[in-house]
Chains A and B, each alone.
Chain A
Amino acid sequence: MATERNQKENEARVKRKPLISIPAPVDSLLAGWAGLALWLLLLLLLALYPYTGVSSVALFVGSQIFVLVTLASNWNLIGGMTGYVDFGHAVFFGIGAYIMGILVTGSPLLISPEWGFWQALPASGVAAALFALLIGLPTLRLKGPYFSIAMLGTLVAMREVARVLRPITGGGVGLNLPPLLNRLGDYYLMLAVMGLVVSIIWWIQRSEFGQSLIAIREDEIGAEMRGINTTLHKIVAFMIAAFFTGTVGGFWAWQNTYIDPDVVFVEARTVEMVMMSMLGGLGTVWGPPLGAVVIYFLQDLLWGSLFGVHLVALGVLLVVIVLFMPEGILGTLGDRSSTSLGRLLSRVGRSK
């Protein structure tokens, strides 16, 4: 399987180099233009991949992996780089999915010309970003665990709201979207979204904006005293992360053709994002994509056959990673302090 090989090459590239050469320069190399060049090369290879005449199943697998990579990178922007650990990020996924469902079917609200997929997809993202603005204004003032819990509350509360607002969302019955199978289109769409998101994260990490986010993570009061408008930075990062998560949610609703509150507003999806980021390396550019790929194939190999077991394993794996590998793959093999939890741990260790 060529995709597999490509993905594995990517993994190996990120994985092996810190071991072979001195970690720090390689890390900075990957964070720099070389990293972007390698990323674009990988995207090009992935774009050529369907021309090798593969089955539609392989294309489906590809688009699923791209979805996971996009979600993990998005979560990492707010959870890893900014240090606001969001336990309810799936809420944006759900909102995107519902906006897509409502606009495309049109039926519950009697929107008379139903929107097409291409009009509804950006609308999903925009709606999620607006919701992030709305919910972020109060919640992003909360610190540490309180923010995490407030976002978890948002997720569970929105699940209730979606169930109660029967005239708009179809309630617990859910919405059925028109089934249109286009695996090749899905593949390229998600490839493009993934490429865009990871490139944006790469750019953010180099930009002043990203450095400000990291400053907020390390010391929010200090950052504020240095003249960084912390509220604005946090909100913008939150909205970017929400926009793409909502877009992915809209796409997922389209691909899955069915949504209901328990399918889209689900904590397990947040855990997935958290865990993929943690496994790769929280707060790094290449960690979350790496983690997402590893998780996908791990799921496929180890517990793909038994439905439901993978969610149990997901929870257990999160516990195991936190206990034994809190710095993630990149932090364990390379520069420990490049990941945010690694920094946190080393700082706490110092102060004692």
Chain B
Amino acid sequence: MDQLLQALVSGLLLGGFYAVMVLGFSVIWGVMGVINLAHGEFLMIGAYLAWGLSRLFGLDPFASLALIVPLMFLVGYLLQIVLINRIVERPHLMTLLVTFGVSIALANLFKILFDADPRNVAVAYNGSLQLAGVTFPIVKTIIFGAALLIMVCLHLFLQRSRLGKSIRAAAQNKTAARIVGVDINRVYAITAGICIALTAAAGAMLSPTQAIFPFMGPPFTLKAVTITALGGLGRIPGALMGGMVLGITEIFVSTYVAGIGTNLGVATSFVLLVLILIVRPQGIMGGLRPLEPEAE
């Protein structure tokens, strides 16, 4: 019973992180129809930035978000203007290939810059709390809280602000949005900036809990795809739900299947993904776009 409760709590905490990790991926896909295969690499960059800032200036990873978020917003904005806007209306294959190329280039660039050695960010509050027989690791609990906060903010931004409304308009009907005067290229660039910043923020928050290395990205990209297939595109409650499902599944597999540990996280989510896509190609909650190249 205790084990079950512990597994549930660990799964929920992991799920909260997954939910905030997937937001950037899911919104980019939902708004522009671009599957960003370099998603995990931006997470990796965020983690490295947090590591660098804590090493150079002794900044706390959560405090360093104040620097990382604007910086990565700029990176995402420029990347979109220079690269992705050129091909966003071409066949999906091209954006897929370009982001795949970006992901390989970034991962290997960081390997050259920082070696392949795993890095760690140490924080003082790295302990855990006992509550009713269940262990709450402090860092993961903070991440969970921050994840909920970020999701609420993003939701309010998309629903209430003028810019958020134009982003949603661009997602729903590009042509109509253009007609009513939305500058699609600019909206796309801002969307990409926000998404990349969010992803890097997730990476920075992850940094105290996991070793950082240049090739940590692809597993996160794949998990992001799985969560999006579970929860639907660009939907914040969906991301939360999908993240929870994946988090709990992963923890249960590692708790109850002997001799695996958490090392088979990607294999688990891969099986989940293929099953979902075969049984329900539109995703569990619906709303995955039919990605036929000529449909656009």
Contacts and interface: CB of A to CB of B under 8 A. Distances in A.
Interface of A: 85, 87, 138-139, 141-146, 148-150, 152-154, 156-157, 160-161, 163-164, 262, 267-268, 271, 274-275, 278, 308-309, 311-319, 322-323, 326, 341, 344-345, 347-348, 351
B86 interface: yes
Contacts of A341: 91, 93-94
A163 B101 CA distance: 26
A138 B222 contact: no
Question: Looking at chain B's contact residues, is the secondary structure mostly helix, strand, loop, or mixed?
Answer: helix
Contact of A146 (B87, B102, B269, B291): B291
A267 B273 contact: no
Contacts, number: 151
Given A85-B96, A144-B92, A318-B104, 6 more contacts: A142-B278, A262-B215, A278-B97, A311-B108, A323-B86, A348-B91
B106 interface: yes
Contact of B263 (A164, A312, A323, A345): A164
26 contacts: A87-B100, A145-B291, A146-B277, A150-B277, A153-B270, A153-B273, A156-B218, A157-B266, A160-B263, A160-B264, A160-B265, A271-B101, A308-B112, A311-B108, A311-B111, A312-B108, A312-B112, A315-B106, A315-B108, A322-B94, A322-B97, A322-B101, A323-B83, A344-B91, A348-B90, A351-B294
Contacts of B91: 341, 344-345, 348
Nearest to B116: A262
Contacts of B278: 138, 141-142
Interface in B209-224: 215, 218-219, 221-222
Interface in B63-121: 83, 86-87, 90-94, 96-98, 100-106, 108-109, 111-112
Contact of A157 (B87, B104, B267): B267
A92 B112 CA distance: 27
Interface of B: 35, 37, 83, 86-87, 90-94, 96-98, 100-106, 108-109, 111-112, 215, 218-219, 221-222, 225, 260-261, 263-267, 269-270, 273-274, 277-278, 281, 291-294, 296
B222 A149 contact: yes
B249 to A, nearest CB: 14
A311 B104 contact: yes
